[in-house]
Amino acid sequence: MSCRSRLRDAEIWNDEFLEQVRRCNRAVGVGPQAVSEIGAGESLAAVETVAWLFRNMGAHRQGVQRIVNELAKEGLIEFRPNPRHRRANLVALTARGRDIYEQADRLQIPWINTISKDIDPNEIALATRFMQTLRRRLEEQGKQEPENGD
């Protein structure tokens, strides 16, 4: 199996994983871009800026800003003044947001345990390191245009 097809398998797995997260979000009564999907429950344990969130998530700033705005409309997060930067507000979970995140997280635990059953923890650690390395390399590569192979 080629590296390319293995990476495609990882992409398919990620899509299926996110769909299961969306099901958990719907079960607790929030939209598909809820706190748990973007990992903001963990990211927002510390109050941070949108710029920090998008770097932490490995996503585009505009996409994260749109999601953050939607979460604020739903009352799941709030904006707070940033003493270090006048224009870059801090983003924090509200009590409702924290409760929703914890509910969705509790729903995810059983299926995570099921899908990871009988997988050696060393294999999980190896896969995690691989994905971290891949993410770091992709971030380093940035928006470089691929070279034409002609």
pTM score: 0.62
Per-residue pLDDT at 7: 72
Question: Mean pLDDT score of the chain, rounded to an integer?
Answer: 76
CA nearest to 64, candidates 96, 88, 94, 84: 88
| Bridge-based pairing state of the strands 90-93 and 48-49 | antiparallel
Structure tokens at 87: 């224009």
Segment 101-117 shows an average pLDDT of 85
Could you report the per-residue pLDDT of 22-60, keeping only the tens digit for each?
Answer: 777 777 777 655 555 555 555 555 677 776 666 666 566
What's the pLDDT score for residue 87?
Answer: 80
- Which comes out higher in pLDDT, residue 118 or 45? 118
- Tell me the torsion sign for CA atoms 44, 49, 52, 54: positive
Which residue has better confidence, 108 or 32? 108
pLDDT value of residue 31? 66
| Arithmetic mean of pLDDT, 85-112 | 83
**Using CB atoms within 10 A of its CB, is residue 27 exposed (0-12), middle (13-18) or buried (19+)?**
exposed
Looking at domain 3-139, does it have CATH number 1.20.1070.10? Answer: no
Domain boundaries, the chain: 3-139
Report pLDDT digits (tens) over 75-97. Answer: 888 888 888 888 888 888 888 88
Cα radius of gyration rounded to whole Å, the chain: 18
CA dist list (Å): 33 to 1, 24, 67, 138: 34, 11, 6, 24
Contact 11, 26 (CB under 8 A): no
Select the highest-mean-pLDDT range: 17-21, 37-41, 104-108. 104-108
